[in-house]
């Protein structure tokens, strides 16, 4: 062991106790030397120590003499290996750090290169977009310039055409002016010649007329003198004969009496004939025909067979609650007419469009009565003439061989309550006249009143009515029948003047039933107007494409519009 430090071989030491503590001091300089050798930051002047070799030799001797010298050397070597392993590990860590730094540097370089490429690509795209935009703007400017050039060329052409047209018009005007002046000159010369000729002829005719007038005057004077002489002689003879005077007076009296009798007789006969032939002014519609004016219609009516009650009410769609009562009214009226019994007056009341007028016509047709339709609003403006026209109406009704059903629509217009302060005296007189004319039952006529506001009628009018019949809005079953009836009338069976039919293949029975369900509160007239509006929608659409086609969308649009209108009507009625 000593030879390792330059002191020769090892010698056994006799003092084991003293050599053991010396191992530790010997290890310390070795560790210091090792540490100092690993510290590369110490300068050369600081490493040199003249006593180091002495201390090393002493330490080697002590270590060689120490029994634990080998262990100390082994421990020192182990420590050196540990430090070397630690150094290698640190070196490996440093190399790994360097590799990480190198990889990071490469990654950063790649990222920088990628960003550089992206920036270059972006710059290239931007330059390309700028070039495209510039080319597009240049193209637009060229197009605008061409358009401007075309517009200027067109304007120049239009201006040239306008100038040519103006020149043509001026030329035509000049030619027309010259032709007019020529014609006027020609006419003027011709007129002047005719005037001169006419002046000469007038003088000649005037001379002839004066001569003829003078001869006629002389002839008339001679005839007048002769007639005066003749009349004087006859008058002298007449006055001298009393019998002739009495005969003349009697004859004159008879002529005057006959003239007056003929005048008044003709007047009475004329009024009677006019009453039989012409309807009163109040009648708007009547089934009564005149044999003199329409003989064929009158003959056809005489030989036609009266329909049964079921046939009369077949075209009317009624609620189940109304059907039986209306049929009983028809049957009772028919039997009363057949047996010359007094006819009963009726009051039909209910919302508008529920079939009151249609039922009145059907009732007259079935019972064999003529019908006459008037409105209460026509009597109001007549004033004092209203009483006279009411009497004419009822007198005319009595002249019918079959009897007359007088249907008065909007009866509340002139039959309103008399306790109202705003009713006029003329209207009050018309009401009193109506009450007088309907005071007793008659087998010649029956009165049917229709009113939307029966509570506004005078109580005496209610007393004149033998039966009051309500007409309600159609129920669901009735609305289904009405919708089907009007749909076939205005859509399915419609034929245009060109022979086209409406294509309604897209409309099913379910669509019609849905219309009936969604039209609660609609009257029969409202449903009729709904189908008419659908037909008008189809015809308006055909003006655009030439096809008569009905689609469910059209029905939905019209249905929404009519529902809104129906709601507005109900709002107005509620606000009264």
Q: Is 470 helix (H, G, I), strand (E, B) or coil?
A: strand
**Residue 107, CA atoms < 13 Å, CB-side half-sphere:** 6
Q: Write the DSSP symbol of residue 443.
A: S
Q: How confident is the model at residue 270 (pLDDT cuts 50, 70, 90)?
A: low
- Whether residue 548 contacts residue 499, with contact meaning beta carbons closer than 8 Å, is answered with no
Mean pLDDT along residues 550-563: 90
* Position with higher pLDDT, 258 vs 26: 258
Q: Which of 13-17, 118-122, 203-207, 292-296 is predicted with the least confidence, judged by mean pLDDT?
A: 13-17
- Whether residue 532 contacts residue 491, with contact meaning beta carbons closer than 8 Å, is answered with no
Which positions ≥6 away from 441 have C-beta within 8 Å?
342, 343, 344
Per-residue pLDDT of 389-420, as tens digits, reads 999 999 988 888 888 999 999 998 889 888 76
Residue that has been written with the tokens 């055909």 in this structure: 542
Mean pLDDT along residues 239-268: 76
| Closest to 438 (Cα-Cα) out of 465, 402, 419 | 465
Residue 398 sits at the vertex; the CA angle it makes with 394 and 400, to the nearest 5 degrees, is: 125
Name the range with the highest mean pLDDT among 34-48, 77-91, 173-187, 334-348.
334-348
What backbone torsions phi and psi does residue 9 show, to the nearest 5 degrees? Answer: -80, 180
- Whether residue 24 contacts residue 68, with contact meaning beta carbons closer than 8 Å, is answered with no
Q: Write the DSSP symbol of residue 505.
A: T
Torsion of the alpha carbons at 8, 12, 14 and 19, rounded to the nearest 10: 70
pLDDT confidence of residue 462 = 92
371, containing H or E segment: strand 370-375
Q: How far apart, in whole angstroms, are the C-alpha atoms of residue 68 and residue 256?
A: 195
Per-residue pLDDT of 519-549, as tens digits, reads 998 988 999 999 999 999 888 887 666 778 8
Q: Which of 2-11, 47-56, 74-83, 134-143 is predicted with the least confidence, judged by mean pLDDT?
A: 2-11
pLDDT confidence of residue 448 = 94
Set out the domains of the chain in order of their start, with CATH numbers: 285-472 (3.40.50.300), 477-574 (1.10.8.60)
């Amino acid at each position: 062991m000593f030879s390792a430090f330059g002191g020769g071989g090892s010698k056994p030491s006799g003092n084991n106790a003293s050599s053991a503590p010396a191992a530790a001091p010997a290890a310390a300089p070795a560790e210091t030397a090792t540490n100092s050798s690993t510290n590369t930051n110490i300068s050369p002047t600081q490493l040199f120590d003249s006593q180091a070799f002495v201390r090393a030799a002493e330490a080697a001797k002590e270590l060689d003499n120490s029994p634990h010298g080998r262990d100390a050397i082994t421990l020192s070597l182990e420590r050196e290996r540990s430090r070397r392993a630690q150094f290698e590990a640190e070196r490996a860590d440093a190399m790994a750090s360097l590799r990480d730094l190198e990889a990071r540097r490469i990654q950063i370089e790649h990222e920088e290169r990628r960003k550089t490429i992206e920036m270059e690509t972006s710059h290239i795209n931007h330059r390309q977009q700028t070039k495209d935009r510039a080319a597009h703007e240049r193209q637009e400017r060229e197009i605008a310039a061409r358009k401007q050039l075309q517009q200027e060329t067109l304007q120049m052409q239009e201006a040239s055409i306008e100038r040519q047209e103006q020149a043509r018009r001026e030329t035509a005007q000049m030619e027309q002016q010259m032709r007019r002046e020529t014609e006027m000159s020609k006419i003027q010369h011709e007129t002047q010649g005719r005037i001169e000729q006419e002046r000469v002829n007038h003088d000649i005719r005037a001379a002839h007329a004066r001569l003829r007038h003078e001869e006629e005057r002389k002839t008339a004077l001679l005839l007048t003198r002769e007639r005066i002489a003749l009349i004087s002689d006859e008058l002298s003879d007449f006055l001298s004969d009393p019998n002739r005077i009495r005969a003349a007076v009697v004859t004159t009296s008879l002529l005057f009496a006959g003239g007056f009798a003929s005048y008044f007789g003709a007047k009475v006969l004329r009024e009677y004939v006019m009453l039989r032939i012409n309807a009163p002014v109040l009648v708007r519609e009547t089934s009564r025909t005149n044999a003199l004016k329409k003989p064929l219609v009158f003959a056809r009516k005489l030989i036609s067979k009266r329909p049964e009650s079921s046939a009369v009410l077949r075209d009317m769609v009624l609620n189940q609650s109304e059907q039986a009562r209306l049929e009983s009214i028809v049957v009772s009226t028919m039997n009363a007419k057949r047996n010359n019994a007094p006819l009963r007056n009726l009051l039909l009341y209910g919302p508008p469009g529920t079939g009151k007028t249609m039922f009145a016509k059907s009732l007259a047709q079935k019972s064999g009565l003529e019908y006459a339709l008037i409105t209460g609003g026509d009597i109001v403006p007549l004033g004092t003439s209203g009483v006279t026209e009411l009497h004419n109406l009822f007198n005319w009704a009595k002249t019918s061989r079959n009897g007359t059903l007088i249907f008065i629509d909007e009866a509340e217009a002139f039959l309103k309550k008399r306790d109202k302060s705003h009713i006029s005296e003329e209207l009050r007189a018309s009401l009193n006249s109506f009450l007088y004319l309907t005071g007793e039952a008659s087998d010649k006529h029956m009165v049917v009143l229709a009113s939307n506001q029966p509570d506004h009628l005078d109580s005496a009018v209610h007393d004149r009515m033998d039966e009051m019949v309500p007409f309600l809005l159609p129920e669901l079953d009735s609305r289904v029948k009405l919708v089907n009836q009007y749909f076939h009338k205005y859509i399915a069976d419609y034929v245009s003047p060109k022979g086209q039919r409406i294509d309604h293949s897209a409309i099913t029975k379910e669509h019609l039933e849905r219309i009936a369900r969604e039209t609660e509160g609609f009257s029969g007239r409202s449903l009729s107007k709904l189908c008419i509006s659908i037909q008008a929608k189809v015809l308006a659409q055909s003006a655009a494409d030439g096809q008569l086609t009905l689609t469910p969308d059209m029905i939905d649009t019209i249905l929404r519009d009519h529902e809104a209108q129906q709601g507005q009507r109900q709002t107005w009625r509620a606000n009264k």
